[in-house]
Amino acid sequence: MTPDSDYILQVHGLTKSFSGVKALDNVQLNLRRGEVHALMGENGAGKSTFMKILIGLLTPDAGEIIFEGNELKTGNVKDVLKKGISMIHQEMLIVPELTVAQNIFLGRESTARLPYWPDDRSIDRQSEVLLHQMGVAITARTKMKHLSVAEMQMVEIAKAISNNARVIIMDEPTSAISDKEVATLFNIIKDLKSKGVAIIYISHKMDEIYQIADTITVLRDGKYIGTESAGELDSKSLIAMMVGREIDALFPPSSVAQGEEVLSVRQLGSKGKFNNITFTVHAGEVLGIAGLMGAGRTEIARAIFGLDSYDSGTVFIKGKKVNLKSPHEAIAHGIGYVSEDRKGLGFIPGLSVKENITLASLSAHTKGWLIQSKSENAVAAQMIGDLKIKATDAGQKVRYLSGGNQQKVVIGKVLQASPELIILDEPTRGIDIGAKFEIYKLIRQLTAEGIAVVMISSELPEILGMSDRILVLSKGRQTALLSKEEATQETIMKFAMQH
Amino acid sequence: MNKYVTQLKGIGQYGIAIAFVLICLALSLTTSKFLTLSNWTIIITQVSINALLAFGVTFVIITGGIDLSLGSMVAVTGIVASLLAHPDDYPVVVPVLAGLLAGIGMGAFNGTVITKSKVPPFIVTLGTMTIGRGLALILSKGRPVSNLSDAFNFIGGGTVWGIPFPIIVLIIAFAVCSIVLKKTVLGRYIYAVGGNEQAAKASGIRVNKVKMAVYTICGGLAALAGILLTSRINTGQPNAGAGFELDAIAAAIIGGTSTSGGTGTMTGTLIGALLIGVISNGLDLLNVTSYYQQVVMGAIIIGAVVLDSRNQSAAQR
Amino acid sequence: MNKYVTQLKGIGQYGIAIAFVLICLALSLTTSKFLTLSNWTIIITQVSINALLAFGVTFVIITGGIDLSLGSMVAVTGIVASLLAHPDDYPVVVPVLAGLLAGIGMGAFNGTVITKSKVPPFIVTLGTMTIGRGLALILSKGRPVSNLSDAFNFIGGGTVWGIPFPIIVLIIAFAVCSIVLKKTVLGRYIYAVGGNEQAAKASGIRVNKVKMAVYTICGGLAALAGILLTSRINTGQPNAGAGFELDAIAAAIIGGTSTSGGTGTMTGTLIGALLIGVISNGLDLLNVTSYYQQVVMGAIIIGAVVLDSRNQSAAQR
Amino acid sequence: SQTSEKEEGGAKKPVIGVTMLSMQNEFIVNVSDEMTKKAEELGVELITVDAERSALKQIEQVESFIAQKVDAIVMNPCEVEASSPAVAKALAAKIPIINVNSETSAKPSAFVGSDDVESGRIAMKFIAEKLGAKGNVVMMHGYMGQAAQIKREQGAREVLKQYPGLKLIAHQTGEWDRAKSMSLMENWIQSYGKDINAVFAQNDEMGMGAVNALTAAGMKEKVIVVSIDAIPDALQAVKKGTLDATVFQNAQQQGAQAIETAVKLIKGQAADKEVFIPFQLVTKENVSKFLK
Ligand SMILES: Nc1ncnc2c1ncn2[C@@H]1O[C@H](COP(=O)(O)OP(=O)(O)OP(=O)(O)O)[C@@H](O)[C@H]1O
Ligand SMILES: Nc1ncnc2c1ncn2[C@@H]1O[C@H](COP(=O)(O)OP(=O)(O)OP(=O)(O)O)[C@@H](O)[C@H]1O
Ligand SMILES: [Mg+2]
Ligand SMILES: [Mg+2]
């Protein structure tokens, strides 16, 4: 292959398998200077694996990588970083005990003054400048563990940028941040482009892709499907390339009559998190909760589910006052919770798909003390089928599933506990378009069965498309409770930013 | 095909079993005295005490904890049992039950402190280790408790149909522990708590109850080991069991239990305990000088686990 | 405001320091012999060996590892040094350097096996613990090595301006270790590797090099402890240091180092070591019977850490 | 001084600091108990601490005694060499120090005890006589490198040298422990079987372990087992005939005389520099004399 000077990075014939299963099969990519190149594909298509090989965290079984005209040696992160490629990882890779600045410059400490002696004042200063430019209000000397998830993500972005790289890989950089930060990120990307930096951008949010991508490459099941210019590829064909079939309407219509009141929350408050929250949810209804990052939506859900305690107010379930002190009690009262923090609160990585699915409802599969594996297997097989979970078999460890499939496993687990109310916190975060569609259908199916749903989401189209009523929060306060008819993108944003 | 792959993975998982077989093979070739029924009866009898402790600590380690008080629990339970086991004092069930209760009590104490406070299990059980040793000395006034009834001495020294009683206890304990871990709700919860405590909690598992259970079970098994030991040597020794915790934890980890929690099997632990027992027996049979025994022992253990981890990563690839 | 909060948190972090002060206060009120210069000189001299080991293992534990071979390294380095420390054989630097090299070598061996194989540090260092004990016995032919030069005996027994030499070694080691951990690139990487190994890897940190470094440093500090000990008792003892590892690890954990890695400070570890030393000294001063000493010791350690964890969670709220 | 100002009946009550090898060892506990008895009788106060077999700890305890300004120190040394600095420190502080039970290389103010080498000699001599100077012997060591282990081995080997017909076919550590030595004996039975004619265990605990293993294997009748210390269990076993002999160390004499000597030195009276309390061989014939 003769290197083409137009391209900063060229990849050919890249192949990688895990325990005999091919995650990447003869994949290629051609990246131009100064372009934003979107890498698209379903969950488990192999995008992250591809990028981890580029950055040197994984070594390929076969294939060639040409960077700026020279072959890039694989398997050495430090070397790759030095050569000018950096990466925002899909799973947040932070060191909690170190400060923001120390995280940003980890591995690249300035030792100009004294050998082996990192000049923290200099990296603090550089970090402050960088964060200020990005419009993020975080001080460089706070310990990483004190930040919120979204703030951590912004630090990760800062880290990738600070490397002065000529190629930046962004693997789902916006999955944990809200619209305001996304806008900031896009400004940064534009700025980088103008400086000739090339960006590989991975996201499941279609609107983002069309906002910033110049070129789109699609992978499916580890195979290269094609590369198109973004202007010439409409979203319908893009989806078809990704999932291998067409999807008509993303949000299936609701057709359920509301039933009795399932959950009622009155004047709920928790100091420093939220106060005076009042709403009800009925059987068969979807209540959306919208708000900016840090509005306190997750905190409310955690309080209702018994994960945190609250200071004031009351919670009623089917008209009965309850005081839920633990998830155990909440589940016993028919509440299910799908957390936004899939890795932290969702699944047990070392247990199998089957074992995770039945974890919250094991007593349904026991005779005496013993677990009946037959009934367990049956239920697991059904869930895998219903939710279209992609796994080698029910015995595969959830650790080895892609993010979207992990999410489906968590939903499966919550459904198995036969809840009357399900709280879905960012249910489609990091999930591909096909799977999103499956989850929306699933939500409709649940409401049709008379289950009440509370859906917390930062994606306004999703809130608008799925909710019967919408609760809007701003900084822990309830600013509006909108009906489906009242709600538009603009009204929601107005109330979400109200002081 | 799929089944074949799973089988291969199974072997990888028990790579330590291969190491074990290799060591046995090597010993059979070096000394004719190794592969005899009587020698194996002795090996398994000797292993039984460490194996019981290792089973208990396997539960604990899978939840992500540790128990350093095993050795002291052996001493306390042994002393408690032996004090009640003099001939013509009480029927033999009394010392046995008293010993078991003492172990369960100490285990429950560990569990309570660990769940109620946020003190790491390492410190709590290190504390109990010291406290327990002191208790054993106080109860026995620093002297061995001897003159035990024949019925009591049968537990560690008797045979049923020619099989030493400790081996029978070992087999039953192994079966029960395996079933608890693999087939019961508690076992599933133990893996869940060790795999991801927060997620386990959010799945409605009462994490503290699970932790209480494992430390208590561990105490009970330590009591069993303490009673077996006391009966085997016909004396309650206040300094019995010193250092046993390290051997037991080693057996569990050699057998594939990870100290970061969430993984481990009783079969692995049993093989780990057997491995240690076989090496120690083999070195005695070969009459390796005691100084060199230690060097060889350490080297073989590291070597066996290196071999195992090679196998495992090969199977994963 | 912000500064005030940070200060408060600082106190929470050193809650163990409060526990320590409380215990000292209680002892001062119970016995007039406690708060004297001569007694404190003794306490700190006594603590120095455990503290050196605890500093080393703090590095290791912060990376998420463990080192059980500390005690055996003390023995091997002590034997190596003492064999070369007979009067008129070599100048005193020779045994000291040889001892240090032996410790560094053993530490590097630990590091190599741990990084090259996937064997858990617990097993590797347990193996080295056994191997090291055997080596010490082989080198010394199982007998104490005595008749050491005055210059060598000065290290553990001498004083400079009235200050016992071990205390001076302790202070220097503490300063150096604190600086390495807090101020150097290596220290930064140690926290990173223990805090999130994946993140460290993704930042281009050569994780294996960092691990090599901590085990080697740990070996070097164990050698220092071994030399101090040998000099203090004027003899190389093949069975010296048995069980030291647990005390050292306890000091680190009491001082707030988490066994899951990523957190810990040298100040905390120093306080942990002092706490153990003060309790042991106090119980002797109060003439508590030795059996009850153990019970009280265990209870106080658990109690102090409970107090600490209470404080910490209060400060976090 | 401050510490000894505890008044009782107007007279100063002298304080003696006592550091013992290990309070987990039955024999040592017996010595300690005898000291307490004698101290009460003579009206002195004892501060007894446990060195837990660590010479370092023992030195630290003696340093602490010196800081507390006790009137005399009684030390049951952990090690010959390693405990010596403690003696030197006490003497330098002008506090009389009495070694009890075993020696240190540094000369203390006085010594009360027995010579462990002698006990090894007595035990092995008994084996030689029983076997008619011909046969195979195995030996169980204590913790390798400890003073008692080294000395008892030395005594045994001296005798073995005198009897070329006696062959030491295996020796291994049982770590002073009954369970460990029982396993060791079981393994030896596997590899040597009927070749073993006699067992010398360096303490009674290990001797009892060997007896257990031999009895279980049905070999006790044919194998001679001898050990040292004469703990009650061992005496019972000698009486029953399962243990062939043990070597008696006089705890009562050692404890009592150590305190007597200390009190004499405190009062500035003359005291013997060395009080040797002889070992005695205990066999079925004379065991009743030792059973209380
Ligand atoms: N360490 C591993 N061991 C085994 N299988 C793995 C491993 N890492 C990834 N895989 C598998 O490789 C495939 C590709 O995974 P990858 O994470 O690259 O997908 P992705 O396209 O990034 O998906 P997502 O959009 O969900 O992030 C998946 O089937 C996954 O299960
Ligand atoms: N670990 C933490 N330490 C301190 N404050 C935190 C932490 N996590 C969250 N917060 C604070 O709690 C509040 C709400 O957090 P969070 O961002 O989870 O809200 P949210 O409405 O669920 O938003 P989103 O769902 O977009 O993450 C914010 O003020 C945030 O700064
Ligand atoms: Mg991905
Ligand atoms: Mg949220």
The three-state secondary structure class of A252 is coil
Rama region for A443: left / alpha / beta (φ>0; ψ in -120 to 50; rest): alpha
Percentage, residues of chain A above pLDDT 70: 99
Q: Is the pLDDT of residue A54 over 60?
A: yes
Q: Are residues A355 and A286 part of one domain? A: yes
Chain B interface, best mutation among A21, A348, A377, A425, by max B CB count within 10 A = A348
Report pLDDT for B310: 65
**Ligand 1 atom nearest residue A19's Cα:** 4
Percentage, residues of chain D above pLDDT 70: 96
Q: Which of C130, C294, C313 sits opposite B131 (nearest CB)?
A: C294
pLDDT digits (tens, 9 = 90+) for A105-138: 998 887 777 777 888 888 999 999 999 988 888 9
For residue C14, what pLDDT band results from cuts at 50, 70 and 90? low
- Mean pLDDT within C193-220: 95
Contact map slice: B 236-275 vs D, CB within 8 A = 237-240
**A216 vs A382: CA distance, rounded Å:** 36
Chain A residues in contact with chain C using a Cβ-Cβ cutoff of 8 Å: 55, 57, 77-82, 87, 89, 91, 93-98, 102, 106-109, 111, 116-118
CATH of the domain at A106: 3.40.50.300
Q: Is the pLDDT of residue C165 over 90?
A: yes
pLDDT digits (tens, 9 = 90+) for B4-25: 444 444 444 567 888 899 999 9
* Residue type, position D171, single letter: H
Q: Which of A160-169, A410-419, C243-252, D21-30 has the lowest mean pLDDT?
A: D21-30
**Residues of D whose CB is below 8 A from B296:** none
Report pLDDT for C5: 41
Has the ipTM of the complex gone over 0.90? Answer: no
Determine which residue's CA is closest to atom 16 belonging to ligand 2: A294
pLDDT digits (tens, 9 = 90+) for B250-277: 999 999 898 889 999 999 999 999 999 9
Partners of A473 in the beta sheet? A291, A478
Q: Per the structure, how many domains does chain A have?
A: 2
Contact map slice: B 254-273 vs C, CB within 8 A = 254, 258-260
Q: Are residues A374 and A478 part of one domain? A: yes
Determine which residue's CA is closest to atom 29 belonging to ligand 2: A294
The helix (run of H) or strand (run of E) holding residue D12 is: strand D11-12
Pairwise CB contact (< 8 Å): B137 & C299: no
**D259 vs D36: CA distance, rounded Å:** 9
* Domain stops at, among A195, A211, A246: A246
Q: Are residues A238 and A281 part of one domain? A: no
Chain C interface, best mutation among B57, B63, B123, by max C CB count within 10 A = B123
Q: Is the pLDDT of residue A41 over 60?
A: yes
**Ligand 2 atom nearest residue A456's Cα:** 25
pLDDT digits (tens, 9 = 90+) for A172-189: 999 888 788 889 999 999
Q: Is the pLDDT of residue D184 over 80?
A: yes
Residue in B244, B100, B229 with CA at minimum distance from that of residue B155 = B229
**Ligand 1 atom nearest residue A49's Cα:** 18
The three-state secondary structure class of A118 is coil
Percentage, residues of chain C above pLDDT 70: 93
Q: Is the pLDDT of residue C62 over 90?
A: yes
The CA A413 to ligand 4 mean position distance, Å, reads 20
* Domain stops at, among A191, A213, A246: A246
Report pLDDT for B228: 96
C32 touches chain D (CB under 8 A): yes
**B211 vs B109: CA distance, rounded Å:** 12
Q: Are residues A71 and A34 part of one domain? A: yes
Q: Is the pLDDT of residue C178 over 90?
A: yes
For residue D283, what pLDDT band results from cuts at 50, 70 and 90? very high
Pairwise CB contact (< 8 Å): A118 & C188: yes
pLDDT digits (tens, 9 = 90+) for D72-103: 999 999 888 889 999 999 999 999 999 999 88
Q: Which is more confident, C9 or D150? A: D150
Pocket test for ligand 1, best of A14, A17, A47 (most atoms within 8 A of CB): A47
- Going from N- to C-terminal start, the domains of chain C cover 45-283+291-298
Q: Which is more confident, A245 or D159? A: D159
Report pLDDT for C312: 58
Q: Indicate which ligand has the atom closest to the C-alpha of A407.
A: 1
Q: Indicate which ligand has the atom closest to the C-alpha of C198.
A: 1
Q: Are residues A291 and A239 part of one domain? A: no
Whether there are 3 or more C-beta pairs closer than 8 Å between A and B is yes
Give the domain extent around A454.
260-497
* Domain stops at, among A187, A215, A246: A246
Q: Indicate which ligand has the atom closest to the C-alpha of A277.
A: 2
Q: Which of C201, C205, C262 sits opposite A57 (nearest CB)?
A: C201
**B107 vs B214: CA distance, rounded Å:** 8
Per-residue CA distances from D291 to A292, A369, B219, D82, D234 (Å): 87, 55, 38, 36, 10
Average pLDDT value for chain D: 90
Compute the 3-state secondary structure of chain C and give helix, strand, coil in percent, each to the nearest 5.
75, 0, 20
pLDDT digits (tens, 9 = 90+) for D1-46: 344 444 444 467 899 999 999 888 888 999 999 999 999 999 999 9
**Is residue A407 in a domain?**
yes
Strand ranges across the sheet with A274-282? A274-282, A261-270, A312-317, A320-322
Q: Are residues A189 and A330 part of one domain? A: no
Report pLDDT for C297: 87
The CA A10 to ligand 3 mean position distance, Å, reads 20
The helix (run of H) or strand (run of E) holding residue D55 is: helix D55-68
**B:C CB pairs within 8 Å:** 136
pTM equals 0.90
**C87 vs C84: CA distance, rounded Å:** 9
Q: Is the pLDDT of residue B52 over 90?
A: yes
* Residue type, position B145, single letter: V
Report pLDDT for D154: 95
In this structure, what token pair is assigned to residue C15? 């809650």
Strand ranges across the sheet with A469-474? A335-338, A421-425, A452-456, A286-291, A469-474, A477-483
How close B210 comes to chain A (CA, Å)? 13
Pairwise CB contact (< 8 Å): B291 & C129: no
The CA A160 to ligand 3 mean position distance, Å, reads 17
Chain D interface, best mutation among B129, B137, B235, by max D CB count within 10 A = B235
Count Cβ atoms within 10 A of the Cβ of residue A280 and give its class: 0-12 exposed, 13-18 middle, 19 or more buried.
middle
For residue A6, what pLDDT band results from cuts at 50, 70 and 90? confident
Pairwise CB contact (< 8 Å): C118 & B312: yes
Cβ < 6 Å from ligand 2: which residues? A 146, 148-150, 178, 291, 293-299, 340, 458
Percentage, residues of chain B above pLDDT 70: 93
pLDDT digits (tens, 9 = 90+) for D51-76: 988 888 999 999 989 988 999 999 99
Report pLDDT for D11: 61
* Smallest CA–CA distance from B313 into chain A, residue: A19
Contact indicator for D139, B289 with CB cutoff of 8 Å: no
For the Cβ of A403 lying below 6 angstroms from any atom of ligand 1, the answer is yes
**Ligand 1 atom nearest residue A390's Cα:** 29
- Mean pLDDT within A439-464: 91
pLDDT digits (tens, 9 = 90+) for B190-212: 999 999 999 999 999 999 999 99
pLDDT digits (tens, 9 = 90+) for B151-201: 999 999 888 888 999 999 999 999 999 999 999 999 999 999 999 999 999
For the Cβ of A49 lying below 6 angstroms from any atom of ligand 1, the answer is yes
* Smallest CA–CA distance from B181 into chain A, residue: A370
Note the CATH number of domain B45-283+291-298.
Answer: 1.10.3470
Q: Indicate which ligand has the atom closest to the C-alpha of A399.
A: 1
Q: Are residues A276 and A155 part of one domain? A: no
**Is residue A311 in a domain?**
yes
Q: Is the pLDDT of residue D292 over 80?
A: no
* Smallest CA–CA distance from B16 into chain C, residue: C119
* Smallest CA–CA distance from B1 into chain A, residue: A20
Pairwise CB contact (< 8 Å): B201 & A360: no
**D153 vs D171: CA distance, rounded Å:** 10
Report pLDDT for D6: 44
**B253 vs B270: CA distance, rounded Å:** 11
Q: Are residues A119 and A43 part of one domain? A: yes
Q: Which of A96, A98, A111 sits opposite C185 (nearest CB)?
A: A111
Report pLDDT for C310: 66
- Mean pLDDT within D171-190: 92
Determine which residue's CA is closest to atom 12 belonging to ligand 1: A23
In this structure, what token pair is assigned to residue A287? 């209540």
